[in-house]
């Protein structure tokens, strides 16, 4: 069944996030459509939502499996000041985790930096892109994909490492309520961000990665060590085998055997 936009609106309590929704039954990637919209002046808080993506993409140029009518694929256009850009990487996965918790009672964890997991399997990932000129952010694109009512066994290539809400609960849930909950949490966290570090602390407390022996890959670089902590910008602090500390801004973490 297609998304019921009136029902999304019924559950929406935001001031600007999600107040304008570009709804598509199929597209290549919501990131591409949102980028075109942002370039053409789409208002702050616009979202591009698609029922299906034919070229859904994840981090590191991976494909994001995007079957029709089952999940949530969206990209939010947001225009933050430069100083708040890094916080999007904290706020977005946290908003997903809180929305899933509200709608289902499940308690997702976060794998640094922004994968949302249930029992170690990936439920959601977020792609964040930005366009900066000089010291001003023209726009940022925040693109979460959330596996909702997806029969994940039908995609054997990801069935061992990914999950969906349906798989976890054994029943379908309302995509409309989940989407509205995500948008409500995102805006509340975004607006509260300048007031303190509550979002950072909440994100940090859900990180599965801390205290573990990890490998972090980024492009052709590989770092190993203990994931000691994260800093306020969301960087990972790694204690390397020689005892030195390395601040890692981005990358993919795997646990060391």
> Considering beta carbons, is residue 158 or 239 the nearer one to ligand BTN?
158
Q: Residue 67 interacts with ligand BTN (CB under 6 A)?
A: no
Q: How far is the CB of 178 from ligand BTN (least distance, A)?
A: 14
Q: Listing from the earlier edge strand, what are the strands of the sheet with 245-248? A: 245-248, 236-239, 221-230, 213-218, 252-255
Q: Residue 58 interacts with ligand BTN (CB under 6 A)?
A: yes
Cα–Cα distance, 252 to 257 (Å, whole number): 16
Query: Which residue in the set 46, 53, 87, 184 belongs to the binding site for ligand BTN (CB under 6 A)?
Result: 53
Q: Residue 64 interacts with ligand BTN (CB under 6 A)?
A: yes
SS3 72: strand
> Considering beta carbons, is residue 64 or 186 the nearer one to ligand BTN?
64
Which residues lie below 8 Å from residue 147, measured CB to CB, with a gap of 6+? Answer: 71, 122, 123, 124, 162, 163, 164, 165
Position of minimal CB gap to ligand BTN? 125
Cα–Cα nearest to 234, from 210, 205, 203, 211: 203
Q: How far is the CB of 63 from ligand BTN (least distance, A)?
A: 9
Q: Residue 73 interacts with ligand BTN (CB under 6 A)?
A: yes
Query: Which residue in the set 30, 87, 104, 209 belongs to the binding site for ligand BTN (CB under 6 A)?
Result: 30
For 128, the token pair is 């964040």
């Amino acid at each position: 069944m297609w998304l019921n936009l009136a029902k999304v609106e019924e559950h929406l309590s935001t001031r600007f996030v999600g107040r304008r929704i570009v709804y598509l039954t199929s597209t290549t990637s919501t990131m591409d459509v949102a980028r075109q919209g942002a370039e053409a002046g789409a208002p702050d808080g616009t979202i591009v939502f698609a029922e299906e993506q034919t070229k859904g993409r994840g981090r590191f140029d991976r494909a994001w499996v995007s079957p029709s009518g089952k999940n949530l694929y969206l990209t939010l256009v947001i225009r933050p000041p430069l100083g708040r850009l890094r916080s999007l990487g904290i706020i977005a996965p946290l908003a997903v985790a809180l929305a899933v918790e509200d709608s289902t009672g499940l308690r997702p964890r976060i794998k640094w930096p922004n994968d949302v997991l249930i029992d170690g399997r990936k439920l959601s990932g977020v792609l964040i892109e930005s366009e900066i000129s000089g010291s001003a952010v023209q726009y940022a694109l925040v693109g979460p994909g959330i596996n909702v009512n997806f029969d994940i066994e039908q995609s054997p290539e990801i069935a061992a490492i990914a999950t969906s809400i349906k798989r976890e609960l054994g029943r379908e849930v309302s995509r409309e309520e989940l989407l509205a909950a995500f948008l409500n949490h995102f805006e509340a966290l975004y607006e509260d961000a300048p007031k303190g570090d509550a979002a950072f602390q909440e994100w940090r407390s859900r990180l599965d990665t801390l205290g573990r022996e990890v490998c972090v890959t980024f492009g052709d670089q590989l770092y190993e060590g203990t994931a000691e902590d994260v800093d306020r910008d969301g960087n990972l602090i790694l204690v390397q085998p020689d005892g030195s500390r390395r601040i890692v801004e981005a990358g993919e973490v795997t646990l060391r055997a």
